Amino acid sequence: MVILLFFTGLWYLSLFSQTFFQHRYAAHGSFTMSKFWERFFFVFSYLTQGSSYMSPRAYAVMHRMHHAYTDTEQDPHSPQFSTNIFTMMWRTRGFYAAVVKNTKAVEPRFLKNLPEWKAFDRWAGSGLSRLLWVAAYVSFFVLFANSYWWFLLLPIVVTMGAFHGAIINWFAHKYGYINFRLRNTSKNLFVIDVLMLGESYHNNHHKNPSSVNFGTRWHEIDPVYPIIVLLKWFKIIRFTKVTP
């Protein structure tokens, strides 16, 4: 039971930091925040994503490229150019590493208004940091797992961020329904999305990338949107109509 609670908590906290900070804030500029709160969410993302932490800057660049080049060879993660979900994610990893190391030429339009904390990203994305997180996860499982079956969840824990990305970037371009006919394969994966905190409304998102609410129809409840409204009410963030 302890492992299940840990896994569930990590699933949603990691997913929240990704969709709130790296996706809606860094990639799309759906809202703004002060430098203090930006640094706060850098740390929050690191603590919740652990060994699968992604640089908000690199994530934003790669995701902007995905929107600009959806379903083409320049798309960092398109099922159209991968034979299976594993080759797609390996290709994505290559794109991400190239952006982090600045070995890939990136168009200036993808580099506007990016959150940057170079020193923090160097540590958070380092091999040593990831190794320490993995050691902490393994230790937790050794201490609290009352059956070897629980260790089947350990690979997902270690690669949680990539696991979340794989679900959306593969399945939400292959299965589901559409609200908007677009010139790409994006679909809404779930009718009611509790599992992916609104991220599975991918067709809606490709129609309105900078919208803070990923839901469109009455049943498409985006669980993160009320939290965003609450943070706005507390003046932690501010809504903006400016699109990167």
Contact 228/20 with Cβ under 8 angstroms? yes
Using alpha carbons, select from 28, 60, 56 the residue that is nearest to residue 40: 56
pLDDT along the chain (244 residues), means of 10: 96 98 97 98 98 98 96 92 94 94 92 96 98 98 96 98 96 97 97 98 97 97 98 95 50
The whole-number pLDDT of residue 13 equals 98
Q: How many CB atoms lie within 10 A of CB 130?
A: 16
Distances, alpha carbon 85 to alpha carbons 26, 170, 171, 174, in Å: 25, 6, 9, 11
Q: Which DSSP string do the residues of 202-216 spell out, in sequence order? A: HHHHHHSTT-S----
Q: How far apart are CA 92 and CA 198, in angstroms?
A: 22
Q: Comparing C-alpha atoms, which of 12, 133, 120 is closest to residue 57? A: 120
pLDDT of residue 1: 87
Token representation of residue 18:
């990704």
pLDDT at 244: 43
C-alpha pair distances (Å), 83 with each of 41, 77, 89, 96, 170: 35, 12, 11, 19, 11
Q: Does pTM top 0.85 for this prediction? A: yes
